Amino acid sequence: MEDALARYLASRLEANDVRVTNLLRIPGGASRETWMFDAEWTAPSGERQTAAFVLRKDPPASLLETDREAEYAFYSAFWGSDVPVPRMRWLENDASILGGPFFIMERILGCESATSKIIAPPYTAVHPQLAENMYRILAAIATFDWRGTPIERVAEPPTPETAWQRELDHWERILDTEAMEPQPIMKAAIRWLRANPPPPAQRISVVHGDYRVGNFLYREDGNIDGIVDWEMAHLGDPLEDLAWSFNQSWHWAKDGRPGGIVDRATAIAHWERYSGLRADPEALYWWEVFSHVKCQGIWVTGARSFQEGRTNELILPLVAYSLINAQDQYLLRTLGRLP
């Protein structure tokens, strides 16, 4: 893969003597393989140059199927805004180059993303700063003016009245298609969601789709330098992202705090203050219940991909089978049916 990458970079950079080193697969990622690597080359000027990159490549199968061009567009739209993202470099649809379509971005250096590290020293000392920055940036996503950006080419906006229905229809369809066993608890939740729709969205915003601890790059001083994994980004109700960040699947410290870094009330206060929007309790609750349905749709998709032999990635059944039952329990707790 190093040689193929070197040839590709040589053509894109119009460079000579390209060397690719330190190629490493990064674990995780719901829909695409993620690789990091370093590159060195001779520019047309004769100067020797270096850079660090991240590559996102479509795998044979994944936890969910998403559009790489849409992900690239969302990243590109936020470059240079109040939402920190890596700089996109190249989008490539020719699968013959690396065995699948891919895109390449510049790598943000000196940061961590691990969920295990953020809940341990030295990062515990800066949890207040991390939490404020996390929800300040989420507020910036919610209030971002996406019109006239690359997002318009790849995302269809719902109306404020139909944002909830479009997402629920989408994830119910995935659950029905991908689940290999009955999902009575999730189906009961879907019936409740349809019978108790939320109020219209306050605005149609960019929704990251997977905004949580684990999908941003952070530093020891509490700063956040990059929001990553935009594969589920779309346009919709901004409360969807806020609710998703509260899902128990991301309570890494197992202490009831979202992300293991902040209490729920503080997170809501930060988001409301920076966004100028209101986290209506009933609407937020609806989106929290919905978040369990969406999570389960992701887990059952990964389980089916492995079961049908479309992938031998052990992370898919490990994540899927360990969380399918857990997600039912998380949902029941949200509904007040379990302590």
On whether the CB atoms of residues 272 and 224 are closer than 8 A, the answer is: no
Architecture of domain 2-106: 2-Layer Sandwich (3.30)
Question: Which parts of the chain fold into alpha helices (H)?
Answer: 2-13, 68-78, 115-118, 127-142, 151-154, 163-178, 184-195, 239-246, 264-275, 281-307, 315-334
Residue 179, sorted as left (phi over 0), alpha (psi -120 to 50) or beta, turns out to be: beta
Give the span between the Cα atoms of 74 and 56, in whole angstroms: 14
Q: Which amino acid is at 314?
A: L
Predicted pLDDT of residue 308: 82
Write down the CATH superfamily of domain 115-334: Aminoglycoside phosphotransferase (APH), C-terminal lobe (3.90.1200.10)
Q: Which amino acid is at 148?
A: G
Predicted pLDDT of residue 322: 82
Give the span between the Cα atoms of 122 and 54, in whole angstroms: 26
Instruction: Say which residue the tokens 């479009």 belong to.
Output: 166
String of b and e for 3-37 (b: at least 16 CB within 10 Å)? eebbebbbeebebeebebeeeeeeeebbbbbbbeb
Q: What single-letter DSSP state applies at residue 125?
A: G
String of b and e for 219-235 (b: at least 16 CB within 10 Å)? beebebbbbbbbbbbbb
Indicate the SS3 state at residue 300. helix
Q: Which residues contact 141 (CB under 8 A, 6 or more apart)?
A: 78, 83, 205, 206, 207, 208, 211, 227, 238, 241
| Domains in the chain: boundaries | 2-106, 115-334
On whether the CB atoms of residues 118 and 213 are closer than 8 A, the answer is: yes
Q: For the chain, 339 residues long, give each residue's pLDDT as a single digit of tens.
A: 999 999 999 999 989 999 999 999 987 655 678 999 999 999 998 999 999 999 999 876 544 556 899 999 999 999 999 999 999 999 999 999 999 999 999 999 999 999 999 999 999 999 999 999 999 999 999 999 999 999 999 999 999 999 999 999 999 999 999 999 999 999 999 999 999 999 999 999 999 999 999 999 999 999 999 999 999 999 999 999 999 999 999 999 999 999 999 999 999 999 999 999 999 999 999 999 999 999 999 999 888 888 887 777 777 777 777 899 999 999 999 998 654
Q: Which tokens hold the place of 98?
A: 């690396």
Q: Which helix (H) or strand (E) holds 91?
A: strand 88-92
